[in-house]
Amino acid sequence: MEIIFVKDYDEMSLKTFEIIKETVQSKPQSTLSMTTGGTPQGLFEILVKKINEKEIDISQTTFLNLDEYIGPKNAPYSVYRYMHENFYDLINFKPKEIHLINGDSNNVDKEIIRYSEILRRNPRDIQILGLGTNGHIGANEPGTPFDSEIFLANHDDSTIKSTIKQYDLTESEAPTQMITLGFKEIIEATKVILMVSGTSKAKAVKDLVEGPISVKCPASFLQDKDNVILIVDQEASSLLSK
């Protein structure tokens, strides 16, 4: 794992954008798999601006996503809605293909097979990840075996609480499950970029970088992988001893 230390959230967003830009410039047909949440919001802002200003041409790219909540397509927390509101509805030039997981399917097993096939047809050049405060990646929560493959995951209580806070939901409105890429699919991408910012992630960063590789900290799976880049800001790296 390569670690890039940056000053703050804005620098983390810009650095990630630069890697995406280089990748798309050297391979215009790149497949980029995104994540959602507070972490990549700044990245999407930069992407929208640079795409609309024609600094980056995404017309031949394919966009995928890491995960999707089980619930209505237009629920305030859905990845579908997030991607549209923060990205797809704001860009004047569209990617060649967009594939989202359907979290509203009445047959989850079938949906998992459908998306696996999409992943197979579209080898990813980049997989963007965020980090849960408990070290989760996608919805691979603590305890998930490292050989997990795209599956229906149950959220930890701490993750449900984060979602409630982020989207201002009541407890009964909060989603409790997601279809998520497993460790197997996450690491298949040519480059895996883990973006981390803020003091709330500092403990998880310490466990991920300095702790043992253990299912207790799902992101520690990435520690010894050569295709992983961790982009971490000063606050999130504040507990690292080295």
Binding site for ligand GLP (CB under 6 A): 35, 37-39, 66-67, 130, 132, 138-139, 159, 166
Q: Could you confirm whether 99 is annotated as catalytic? A: no
Min dist CB 71 to ligand GLP, Å, is: 13
Catalytic residue among 86, 111, 136, 233: 136
Cβ atoms of 186 and 218 closer than 8 Å? no
210 has catalytic annotation: no
Q: Which residue in the list 141, 156, 207, 235 is annotated as catalytic?
A: 141
Q: How many CB atoms lie within 10 A of CB 76?
A: 15
Residue with tokens 């394919």: 62
Is residue 224 flagged as an active site residue?
no
| Nearer to ligand GLP (CB atom), residue 9 or residue 29 | 9
67 catalytic? Reply is: yes
**Residue among 130 and 182 whose Cβ is closer to ligand GLP:** 130
The one catalytic residue in 67, 156, 207, 235 is 67
Q: Tokens standing for 220?
A: 């520690």
222 and 137 in contact (C-beta within 8 Å)?
yes
Q: Which residue bears the tokens 């480059």?
A: 191
DSSP code of 73?
Answer: T
Closest CA to 201 of 86, 47, 38: 38
Residue 236 Cβ vs ligand GLP, minimum distance, rounded to whole Å = 10
Q: Which residue of the chain is nearest ligand GLP when measured via CB? A: 130
Identity at 183, one-letter amino acid code: F
Task: Tell me which residues are annotated as active site.
Answer: 67, 134, 136, 141
